[in-house]
Chain A
Amino acid sequence: MFETLILILDATLRVSTPLILAALAGLFSERSGIVDIGLEGKLLGGAFAAAAAAAVFGSAWIGLLFAIAASVSLALIHGFACITHRGDHIVSGVAINTIVAGLTVTLGLDWFSQGGQTPALTGAARFTPITLPFADQVAEVPVLGLIYSELLSGHNILVYVAFLMVPLTYWVVFKTRFGLRLRAVGENPHAVDTAGISVAWVRYRAVILCGVLCGIAGAYLSTAHNAGFLKDMSAGKGYMALAALIFGKWRPVPVLLACLLFGFLDAVAVRLQGVSLPVIGEVPVQAIEVLPYVLTVLLLAGFIGKAVGPKAIGKPYVKERA
C-alpha cells in the first residue's frame, strides 16, 4: 500500500513537471497583464525544437537551448502582437497554438521523414535519471529510505529544475525590482508609466521569461519524459497549466500545489484504470481526468474561493488623454 502511494507520488512529480514550468511561465506573462493561452503552442514548439536539435546534435542540452530559442521566438510574436500592436491577446494565443500544431508536423516530416515524428532519442540526446547520493544504499531503510530512493531520487535534471523554479520565481516576483515592476504593470500600467518606467519593456521581458520556461517544459516533454517528438504531444498540458495558474491565483506556491494536485489526479487516473475500489466501485478514469477543469470552472465561478487575476490583464495599454 505504502509502496503504491510512493509510486503514485513519484509519477505525480513526473507528470507535474511540465505543468509547473508552463504555469510559472504563464505567471510571468499574466502578472504583467498579457493573457497567454499560447502556453500550449510554446510547449509544443519547444518540445519539437528540443527533439529535433537533440536528434541532430546528439545532445539533450543543445536540444534544450533550441527549445528555449523556439519558445522565446513564439513569445516574442505574441508580445509583438499584444504589446506593440495592441492585438487581442486571445486571438494571438490561438494563432500561435494553431501555427505550431501545423508547423511542427510539417517541418518534422521534411527534416526526418518519419511521419512528423523525430527519430527516437537515445543516450546523451536525452535527459536521463539522476541517482542522488546514497540512494541505492538507503533504499532498504523503511519508509524514509523508500521516499528518498524512489520519490526524491531518480528523476532527470529538469524535474529538479522545475521545482527549483518555484522558489526562484517567488524570489524574482516578490523580492526584486523587476518583480515589483512586473506586478505593478499588470495591476495599473498607468502608475508604472507615470513612475517613469516603460510599460512595454517590462511586458516584453515578462513574455521572454515566459518563453524560456515554456521552452524548458517543452524540452522535458520530448527529451526527458519521452524519447522524441510526437505529433500534438503537449496534449492540452498548456491549457491545464493555465488552469493551474488560475487555480493557484497567480501565486508561485499555490500554483505549484495546483500543478501537483492536477498531476496527482492524472497519476491516480492511470492507476485506477479498471480497478474496482471498495465502497465506490469502479471510478471512471474520465471523471478524475476532468477534475482539474471542473475545479477551475468552479473556482472561476466563485463557488470555491475567488480567483481575482491581475487587474489590467488582457487590456492593451493606451495613454489616455487627460
Chain B
Amino acid sequence: MNQDTQSYAIELEGISKRFGAVQANKDIALRVPAGTIHGIIGENGAGKSTLMSIIYGFYEADAGVIKVDGQAVDIHNSQDAIKAGIGMVHQHFMLVDNFTVLENIVLGAEGGALLKQGLNAARKELKRLEQEYSLDVDIDAKVEDLPVGLQQRVEILKALYRGAKVLILDEPTGVLTPQEADHLFRILSSLTEQGVTVLLITHKLREILASTNNVSVMRQGEMVAHRVTAETDKDELAELMVGKKVRLKVDKEAAQPKQTVLSAEQLCVSDSQGVERLKKVSLELKAGEILGIAGVSGNGQSELLNVLSGITPMSSGSIAFAGQRITAEQPKTAAQMRALHMAHVPEDRHKMGLVTGFEAYEAAVLGYHDADTYNGKILMKRQAMVEECQARMAAWDVRPLNPHLKTANFSGGNQQKIVIAREVEQNPEVLLIGQPTRGVDIGAIENIHEQIVKLRDAGKAILLVSVELDEIMALSDRILVMFDGAVVGHVSAEEADERTLGLMMANAWQEPQGASA
C-alpha cells in the first residue's frame, strides 16, 4: 500500500476529551483508509466508546480535528455527523421497540412532512439496499418482535439509508450468537466491497484478526499502536492492549485452602428481556483462598455477584452454602444470604453499596440496619452506631474521621473503605468483592489489598471480581476467566500471566498442544 495515494475516509488529529477529572481521550490521531474494516481494540475504559461518540457528534471534543474524505468537518451533533456520511450502530440499539423496521429506518429522514410518500420511497430504496448488501429483514415487522441479530441489521440499514459512507459499530457482537456474529462479518465485508468504510470497536481479538484490514490499539485514553492486521498476531495485540503492567506487590504467603464453603452448580441468570446473562457457571470457593474472576466487564461478572448474594434470582442451577441448597425454586433473598454470613462489597458503590445522601454512620450499617446491636425496641441506637462507625473509621484510616459527614463528601477511596469495613467487620464466612479499588487513590489501594489478604489468612473465603488484571494477578490464589456469561478459563496463580489471561479474556486462548493430560 502506498501511503501517499491512499485516500482516507476518516482522519483524526489531536482529539482530546475530558470528563471532569477523567481524561477520556488524549491527543488521538487515527487514519482510516476508505473501503476497509478498521478495528479499534482496548480494555474497558480505554476511551474507545468516547472517541466514537465524538466522531458521531454525541460529544464534542475539547480539541482536535476530524476530517472526512480529506475535508475537515465541524461535528457538533449527530445531525452533522449524519450529513458528513457517518453512521453508527450503538452498543445499546437506538431503536423504538414498538415501531416497525420501516418506521425506525425513516425516523429523522422521513423525506417530507407526510409519511406516506417517504415510507413508499424508503420501501423502494430499502429493497435496493437489501439486495446490494444482502441484508434481509422484514421491514414491516415490529422491532420488539425481532431477535437481536436482526435488530442490529436494522441499525445498519438505518445508517446506510441515511447515506452513510462510514459505519461505526460499537461492540457489535456482545449481544449476538456466534452464528449471528459470523453473518454480521459477512455483511460488513460486503459493505466494504461497495466502498463503505467500517470502524469496528471491540475487545475480542479473534474478531479483529478474522475480519479487519487494520487495527489500532487504545490504552488509558491514548492511541498506543497501529498495525496492519495481517502483520500482527493475537499475542502482540494482547500485550499492546494490556500494556506492561506495573506488578502490584502484595505481601502474602501461599494460600492454605481448607474445606469448600460455597459451591455453585450450573448457575444461569436471565435478564428481564429473557437474554441469558450467566451461562451454566460452576465454581467452588474454599475457606482461606482468594478466587479471582477476571474478564472484560459485561461478561457476566456482575450477574454472578448478584446471584450469589441473593439480589437477583437464578433461572436455573443451584448454590450450596452454609448447609443450605439454594435453587430457583427455593431462593434466598439478599437479607437471608447476609444472615448466613455472606458479605458483599458491590462493584458500584454509588449505585448499590452506599446511599450517598446518608451520613457515614448510617451508610456504615446498610444491610445490617436490622441487627440488634443497632436497634432498641423502637428507636435505633444512634449513639452506638456513631461510636462503632467512629472506631471503624479510625481502624481503617477513613478520612476525614467524621461519622456525621455525608457519604457523598468522602473521596472515592474513603467511601470504598467505609463499604469494605462494613462488610469485612461482620466477620463473614464468604466475602464477595467487586472492583475493590475502582476509583480509589493509590495509597488506599494498598491498604484495601492488605485487608483482603488478612481476611483470607483468617480462614475466610473470598471471591474477587475485577477488571484490573494486575489486581486479579496480585491477589488471587486461583483465577477463573469469564467471557460472554460463561467461565472460559481456570488457572492457578502461578500459571497466570498477562498473555494467557488476556487471550482468555478475549476468548482467543487455545490449549498448547499436549499440555493437558
Chain A residues in the interface with B (C-beta under 8 A): 174-181, 183-184, 187-188, 190-197, 311, 319, 321-322
Interface check B339, CB cutoff 8 A: no
Contact status of A177 and B110, CB under 8 A, knowing A194-B58, A194-B88, A319-B58:
yes
Contact status of A196 and B114, CB under 8 A, knowing A188-B96, A191-B95, A191-B96:
no
Decide if B106 touches A180 in the complex (CB within 8 Å): yes
Decide if B50 touches A322 in the complex (CB within 8 Å): yes
Contact status of A176 and B114, CB under 8 A, knowing A191-B104, A194-B58, A196-B77:
yes
Decide if B96 touches A196 in the complex (CB within 8 Å): no
Contact status of A194 and B78, CB under 8 A, knowing A180-B107, A183-B96, A187-B98:
yes
Docked pose: A196 CA to B116 CA in angstroms = 21
Which residue in chain B gives the minimum CB-CB distance to A194? B94
CB-defined contacts of A176 to chain B, threshold 8 Å: 113-115
Decide if A196 touches B19 in the complex (CB within 8 Å): no
- Least Cβ–Cβ distance between A199 and chain B, in angstroms: 11
Docked pose: A67 CA to B108 CA in angstroms = 33
- Least Cβ–Cβ distance between B124 and chain A, in angstroms: 18
Chain B residues in the interface with A (C-beta under 8 A): 19, 49-50, 53, 56, 58, 77-79, 81-82, 88, 90-91, 94-99, 103-104, 106-110, 112-116, 118, 158
CB-defined contacts of A175 to chain B, threshold 8 Å: 114-116
Extra pairs beyond A187-B96, A194-B56 (6, CB < 8 Å): A177-B113, A177-B115, A180-B106, A195-B82, A322-B49, A322-B58
Decide if B103 touches A196 in the complex (CB within 8 Å): no
Decide if A184 touches B115 in the complex (CB within 8 Å): no
Decide if A179 touches B94 in the complex (CB within 8 Å): no
CB<8 Å pairs between A and B, sample of 15: A174-B115, A180-B107, A181-B108, A184-B96, A184-B107, A190-B94, A191-B107, A192-B108, A194-B58, A194-B94, A195-B158, A311-B97, A319-B58, A322-B50, A322-B58
CB-defined contacts of A180 to chain B, threshold 8 Å: 103, 106-107, 110, 115
Docked pose: A196 CA to B96 CA in angstroms = 15
Docked pose: A96 CA to B91 CA in angstroms = 40
- Least Cβ–Cβ distance between A186 and chain B, in angstroms: 9
Docked pose: A181 CA to B109 CA in angstroms = 10
- Least Cβ–Cβ distance between B79 and chain A, in angstroms: 3
Docked pose: A311 CA to B158 CA in angstroms = 22
CB-defined contacts of B114 to chain A, threshold 8 Å: 175-177
Decide if B99 touches A195 in the complex (CB within 8 Å): no
Decide if B95 touches A188 in the complex (CB within 8 Å): yes
Decide if B58 touches A192 in the complex (CB within 8 Å): no
Contact status of A196 and B78, CB under 8 A, knowing A180-B110, A181-B107:
yes
Docked pose: A193 CA to B113 CA in angstroms = 19
Decide if B113 touches A188 in the complex (CB within 8 Å): no
Decide if A177 touches B118 in the complex (CB within 8 Å): yes
Docked pose: A193 CA to B79 CA in angstroms = 9
Decide if B108 touches A197 in the complex (CB within 8 Å): yes
CB-defined contacts of A194 to chain B, threshold 8 Å: 56, 58, 78, 88, 90, 94
When the two chains form the complex, which single residue of B49, B79, B99, B110 contacts A183, counting CB atoms closer than 8 Å? B99
Contact status of A196 and B82, CB under 8 A, knowing A180-B106, A191-B94:
yes
Decide if B97 touches A188 in the complex (CB within 8 Å): yes
CB-defined contacts of A179 to chain B, threshold 8 Å: 115
CB-defined contacts of B104 to chain A, threshold 8 Å: 191
Contact status of A184 and B99, CB under 8 A, knowing A193-B78, A321-B19:
yes
Docked pose: A197 CA to B162 CA in angstroms = 13
- Least Cβ–Cβ distance between A12 and chain B, in angstroms: 32
CB-defined contacts of A177 to chain B, threshold 8 Å: 110, 112-115, 118
Contact status of A192 and B107, CB under 8 A, knowing A175-B115, A319-B58:
yes
Docked pose: A195 CA to B104 CA in angstroms = 10
CB-defined contacts of A197 to chain B, threshold 8 Å: 79, 107-108
CB-defined contacts of A192 to chain B, threshold 8 Å: 107-108
CB-defined contacts of B99 to chain A, threshold 8 Å: 183-184, 187
CB-defined contacts of A174 to chain B, threshold 8 Å: 115
Among all A-B residue pairs, the 5 with the closest Cβ atoms = A195-B108, A196-B79, A177-B110, A191-B94, A194-B94
Which residue in chain B gives the minimum CB-CB distance to A175? B115
Decide if A322 touches B53 in the complex (CB within 8 Å): yes
Docked pose: A181 CA to B118 CA in angstroms = 14
Which residue in chain A gives the minimum CB-CB distance to B158? A195
